[in-house]
Amino acid sequence: MTTILASASPRRRELLAMAGIPFEIHVSRVEERIDPAWGAAEAARSLAQQKAADIGARFPAACVIAADTIVGIDGTLLGKPEDAADAARMLRLLSGREHRVVTGVCLRRGEAERVFSRETLVRFYPLGEEEIAAYVRSGEPMDKAGAYGIQGPGALLVEGITGDYYNVMGLPLAMLIRELREFLK
């Protein structure tokens, strides 16, 4: 059986390869839609389902793995920044505070699907304007939910985490493998 990762994320690709699962990559072309009233977990799960349904329709015999990561703070959902100013705004909002990183995952094969999410709490150090500007100039924030990546220079912003480190990278790997085993039984 073919396994498809429905993501262009190099971090998800790296994590799934680390688990030793052979897979192909097919990126969803679905226009992502969320209800503004949803919380981070509901939004992340719904976006993962939308991506899995898109790829699953094209490859119905394959096992599709789709994921989406959202950062939540004060009832506000932070996806990928639109531009440098938006990235700086997000980092100011997260500065010196704790926020939630939620990754929603959808496993799909034919009409069968399993949807779950994982939440990790992340605490940032207080960030100065120069630190924010330098990080934004690095370009790293631009393709990441919440405008940072914990696995790169963004690690210097993080005071601590409670939960799954890989979830913050965009794929709760250990949970995914356990869910995948059950799904494929």
Catalytic residues: 68
Q: What angle do CA 147, 158, 178 make, to 5 degrees?
A: 80
Q: Is 74 exposed, middle or buried (0-12, 13-18, 19+ CB in 10 A)?
A: exposed
The helix (run of H) or strand (run of E) holding residue 113 is strand 112-124
Neighbours of 23 (CB within 10 A): 17
- How far apart CA 10 and CA 171 sit, in angstroms, is 11
Strands (E), 125-175: 158-162
The helix (run of H) or strand (run of E) holding residue 51 is helix 40-58
